[in-house]
Chain A
Amino acid sequence: GIQVEQSPPDLILQEGANSTLRCNFSDSVNNLQWFHQNPWGQLINLFYIPSGTKQNGRLSATTVATERYSLLYISSSQTTDSGVYFCAVDGFGNEKLTFGTGTRLTIIP
């Protein structure tokens, strides 16, 4: 199956800083999503982005499908951005979502 690697595993930043999270995947993907898991465990869908670039407020994401990676950008970080960010993908004809191990982001006031 598709392998998904996320980096860095942990990131600690001061409030107001910018951050970039990376997701590498091992094969062509049909679906790629970025999720934020809040302290209660709920997975919040941030982006559906198998290719291209999207922006939503302070967050944006870019997927370069030909090079098999995706980036999540968080600008002007706030303490509420803390949590674990997951990248998840599925392949063509294989509709099972595979998750990376996540990046734990901690924003310090």
Chain B
Amino acid sequence: DGGITQSPKYLFRKEGQNVTLSCEQNLNHDAMYWYRQDPGQGLRLIYYSQIVNDFQKGDIAEGYSVSREKKESFPLTVTSAQKNPTAFYLCASKIQGANGYTFGSGTRLTVV
């Protein structure tokens, strides 16, 4: 079955450590996205990539970094510069110019 896989589902890290969240898709989608969700709130865009080896900042990119070396993969690194990293992170993808976004099941990050 085609889809988006995010791993791990739950992640605990100590304050000050960098952590990388995985997002892999086998849908042959061109564009991939990372969103952050805080409790009781909507989703906010962190970074997005429309083609391999290119990506753009979203609305809340500070403290995060990404790479897009392969079409299938768009990992997100939460750096120590991110002031409040504890949140639910969702990855999405779509075919460029076509309709509808597909979301992964999310990674819940807790920094202690």
A residues apposed to B, CB below 8 Å: 31, 33, 35, 40-43, 45, 48, 50, 86, 88, 95-102
B42 touches A99 (CB 8 A): yes
A-B pairs with beta carbons under 8 A, tally: 52
B68 is an interface residue with CB less than 8 A from chain A: no
Q: Are A33 and B41 in contact (CB under 8 A)?
A: no
Whether B42 pairs with A102 at a CB distance below 8 angstroms is yes
- The answer to whether B105 and A41 have CB atoms under 8 Å apart is yes
Whether the Cβ atoms of A97 and B45 lie closer than 8 Å is yes
CB distance from B101 to the nearest CB of A (A): 5
Please give me the residue from chain B that is nearest to A104 by CB atom. Answer: B40
Q: Which of B44, B45, B102, B105 contacts A45 (CB 8 A)?
A: B102
Find out whether the CB atom of A95 lies under 8 angstroms from the CB atom of B96.
yes
Query: How distant is A50 from chain B, measured CB to nearest CB, in Å?
Result: 8
Specify which chain A residues have a CB less than 8 angstroms from the CB of B97 in the assembled complex.
Answer: 95
Q: A31 to chain B: which residues have CB within 8 Å?
A: 99-101
Q: Using a Cβ–Cβ cut-off of 8 Å, how many residues does chain B contribute to the interface with A? A: 26
| Known contacts A41-B108, A86-B43, A102-B42, A97 near B92 by CB under 8 Å | yes
Residues on A with C-beta less than 8 A from B101 are: 31, 33, 45, 88, 97
Q: Is the CB of A96 within 8 A of B48?
A: yes
Indicate whether A96 sits within 8 Å of B105 (C-beta atoms), given known contacts A48-B100, A101-B42.
Answer: no
CB within 8 Å of A: which B30-75 residues: 31, 33, 35, 37, 41-45, 48, 50, 58
**Contact B42 A100, beta carbon cutoff 8 Å:** yes
| A101 cross-chain contacts in B, Cβ below 8 A | 41-42
Is B78 in contact with chain A by the CB < 8 A criterion? no
Interface string of B90-112 (1 = CB under 8 A from A): 10101011011111011010000
Nearest chain A CB to B29's CB is how many angstroms away? 12
Considering the complex, give the chain B residue whose CB is closest to the CB of A9.
Answer: B40
Query: Which of B43, B96, B100, B102 is A99 in contact with, Cβ under 8 Å?
Result: B43
